[in-house]
Amino acid sequence: HPNVVPLLGASWDSPEPLMLSPYMVNGDVLDYLVSCKKRGVEVDKLRMIHNIAAGMHYLHSVRNIIHADLKAQNVLVENDGTCRVTDFGTSKILSVPPERSTGHRAGTAAYMPPERLEGGGATKEGDVYAFAITAYRVRGPVLHVQADVSDLLQRI
């Protein structure tokens, strides 16, 4: 799919599984927006948000995959400005029995819905929540600030 970074290969021979994908020279969507702003380049942010939505729709509807860690840093940008969803290390394939799938609780707290922060598992609805935050970050003012949520997580 044009809005998902393709998997070129994988290895399970090392202690940590490895996935190989193409190098995306523009980096993540926030880095790209900051770079464009510095250079005075106009960006079609709504097109970028549509790209992310299309990639997530493909994952949910065609591949039956929950991303489980969608965030602006996991959206890479092609040279033509096309956005592609990446980083499937915490993803969940819905056809895999729960005892065989791993990584559902991992993710980025700032993009998680409240029920997930309280210990619930990854869901398509949680991906939609993360998409809304990602879209807000893309559409809003260009700020590259990462909030520290470790204190919040300890209080929950």
Q: Is 127 a catalytic residue?
A: no
CA angle 138/144/145 to nearest 5° reads 115
Nearest alpha carbon to residue 5 among 86, 92, 90: 86
Nearest alpha carbon to residue 122 among 90, 84, 100, 95: 90
Which two three-digit tokens encode residue 10? 């994988």
Among 69, 87, 127, 151, the one annotated catalytic: 69
* Catalytic positions, written as ranges: 69
